[in-house]
Amino acid sequence: MEDRPPDLTLHFEDLALGTQSQDLNQEVGDFVLRRRDGIFTYQLAVVVDDAEQEITHIVRGVDLLNNTARQVHLQHVLGYATPKYLHLPLVLDEHGEKLSKQTLASTIHTENPQQALQELRKAAEHLGLRDLPDGKDTSLAEWLLAATQAWNTKIISS
């Protein structure tokens, strides 16, 4: 087996969290790329899949931030471009558990535009977006445009 470089600290920019770094030797060590049964692991599969699809931006939950340095390392080793990364805060329940299908989180109600707007406003508030239209005299499309512009401003100023 080939020796690892003594310093394998990876740095990458997260559009929301700023500069991130991880020492793969100290914090991760060797990681599996192909299981004994021949199946390629998530780390390798996602890197190859993103490169094949020419993905330029990856947006995911902050719970997956720890995987990013491994993926950046694999991108470098394989000669792939590194996409831009954005890790969002998770939505948690009162016990600190991530809301998801696996935890049987309740459905977001979007039966009509007013309900959809109310749910989107909750999500925007959770993401730290403030001063958005209240939606009373705003269409869903207009509100989404305002939220997108507010998000872009937040990310650029971060």
Question: Rounded to an integer, what distance in angstroms lies between the CA atom of residue 14 and that of residue 84?
Answer: 7
State if pTM tops 0.85. Answer: no
Classify the phi-psi angles of 135: left when phi > 0, otherwise alpha if psi is within -120 to 50, otherwise beta: left
Question: What pLDDT, on a 0 to 100 scale, did the predictor assign at position 91?
Answer: 82
Going residue by residue through the chain, which has 158 residues, state the pLDDT in tens, using 9 for 90 and above: 456 566 788 899 998 889 999 888 888 878 878 899 999 999 999 999 999 999 999 999 999 999 999 999 999 999 999 999 999 888 887 788 888 888 877 777 778 888 888 888 888 887 788 888 877 788 888 888 888 888 777 766 65
Residues 158, 15 contacting (CB under 8 angstroms): yes
Bridge pairing between strands 57-61 and 9-14: unpaired
Token output for 157:
């100023």
Q: Residue 136: which residues within 8 A CB-CB, separation 6 or more?
A: none
Radius of gyration of the chain (CA): 19
Residue by residue, what is the 3-state secondary structure of the chain? CCCCCCCCEEEEEECCCEEEEEEHHHHHCCCCCECCCCCECHHHHHHHHHHHCCCCEEEEEHHHHHHHHHHHHHHHHHCCCCCEEEEECCCECCCCCECCCCCCCCCCCCCCHHHHHHHHHHHHHHCCCCCCCCCCCCCHHHHHHHHHHHHHHHHHHC
Residues 24, 73 contacting (CB under 8 angstroms): yes
Domains of the chain: 9-88 (3.40.50.620), 113-157 (no CATH)
